[in-house]
């Protein structure tokens, strides 16, 4: 609505006629429970302050608003559902903030709209096995950068398994700025080896064969580093690549299995799947 002096002069947008007598069947708190199950986190914005001596919370506890929303926010299709819309801000292990739309009758997730605007930026890393390199990374905020990017195909993502086996527990490799030469841990540096190698592999396919990732459709090159304890192996499982830390106690590889040759080898298994 556009108004002047308290008088509406014009309006713009789209008007949809929704003929339904549907009413909410679940409570607001139940809808919040469904939303948090959809976006699980170890810590949320309403559980942390802004820092720097400030007591203000990073976000408020979800306050659902009852609205009509189309499935997957596809207004062209127009399959509207009575929904609770709420702001959910997850801080760890992954930073993610979104409007979550929960069906007010059955608790199903109607849609999710990302609220964090990410920026792909160039950064410098000191890899362990490939020396100093320039790579693309994701800038989440002024002092948070991670090993993700979207300039190649649908993206390249490199995550830290922390010597676990469940990829659901993987976290981002992060740094306070885009210069990972200073202050990066050795663990993080091995992550930059894999991220650099994955970007190089994508570039090889694109530059030499005009191929958009391994499936020709921009498939995300997703890598998990520091997999398991004393695992001297690397694998491709049809979806993602996993890289172990070696097993120095047994004399079987005393360094993480992350050199550029091995990373390329694993992704080539994926390339073979699609060719």
pLDDT in tens, the chain (275 residues): 777 778 886 777 777 888 788 899 999 999 999 999 999 998 998 998 766 566 788 889 999 999 999 999 988 888 999 999 999 999 887 778 899 999 999 999 999 988 876 789 999 999 999 999 999 999 887 788 999 999 999 899 999 999 999 887 888 999 999 999 888 899 999 999 999 999 999 999 999 999 999 999 999 999 999 999 999 999 999 999 999 999 988 877 889 999 999 999 999 999 999 99
Closest Cα partner for 82 from 35, 23, 31?
23
Q: Are residues 74 and 163 in the same domain?
A: no
Q: Are residues 101 and 206 in the same domain?
A: no
Q: Are residues 53 and 188 in the same domain?
A: no
Q: Are residues 102 and 218 in the same domain?
A: no
Q: Are residues 180 and 138 in the same domain?
A: yes
Single residue among 114, 147, 181 that ends a domain in this structure: 114
Q: Are residues 73 and 168 in the same domain?
A: no
Q: Which residue has the tokens 């062209």?
A: 76
Q: Are residues 166 and 266 in the same domain?
A: yes
CA distances from 147 to 76, 193, 261, 273 (A): 35, 11, 19, 25
Residues near 56 by Cβ (< 8 Å), separated by ≥ 6? 49, 50
CA angle 190, 196, 198 (to 5 degrees): 105
Q: Are residues 168 and 110 in the same domain?
A: no
Structure tokens belonging to residue 195:
């991220």
The predicted structure's pLDDT at residue 53: 60
Q: Are residues 101 and 202 in the same domain?
A: no
Q: Are residues 128 and 79 in the same domain?
A: no
Q: Which residue has the tokens 């090993």?
A: 147
Helix, coil or strand: residue 34: helix
Q: How far apart (Å, rounded) are the C-alpha atoms in residues 48 and 56?
A: 9
Cis peptide leading into residue 93 (ω within 30°): yes
Domain of residue 85, residue span: 2-114
Q: How many domains is the chain built from?
A: 2
The predicted structure's pLDDT at residue 29: 98
The predicted structure's pLDDT at residue 21: 84
């Amino acid at each position: 609505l556009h108004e002047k002096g308290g008088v509406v002069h014009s309006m713009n947008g789209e008007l949809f006629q929704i003929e339904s007598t549907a009413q909410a069947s679940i409570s607001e708190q139940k809808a919040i429970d469904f939303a948090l199950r959809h976006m699980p986190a170890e810590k949320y914005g309403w559980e942390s302050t802004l820092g720097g001596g400030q007591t203000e919370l990073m976000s408020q506890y979800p306050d659902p608003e009852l609205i009509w929303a189309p499935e997957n926010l596809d207004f062209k299709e127009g399959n509207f559902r009575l929904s609770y819309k709420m702001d959910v801000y997850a801080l760890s292990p992954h930073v993610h903030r979104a409007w979550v739309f929960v069906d007010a009758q059955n608790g199903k997730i109607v849609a999710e709209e990302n609220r964090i605007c990410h920026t792909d930026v160039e950064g410098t890393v000191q890899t362990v096995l490939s020396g100093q390199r320039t790579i693309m990374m994701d800038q989440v905020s002024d002092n948070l950068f991670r090993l993700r990017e979207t300039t190649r195909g649908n993206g390249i993502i490199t995550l830290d398994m922390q010597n676990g086996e469940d990829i659901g527990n993987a976290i981002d490799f992060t740094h306070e700025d885009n210069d990972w030469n200073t202050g990066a841990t050795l663990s993080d540096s091995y992550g930059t080896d894999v991220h650099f190698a994955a970007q190089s592999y994508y570039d090889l396919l694109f530059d030499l064969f005009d191929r958009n990732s391994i499936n020709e459709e921009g498939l995300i090159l997703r890598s998990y580093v520091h997999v398991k304890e004393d695992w001297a192996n690397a694998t491709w499982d049809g979806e993602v690549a996993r890289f172990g830390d070696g097993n120095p106690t047994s004399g079987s590889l005393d360094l993480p299995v992350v050199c550029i040759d091995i990373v390329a080898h694993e992704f080539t298994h994926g390339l073979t799947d699609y060719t």
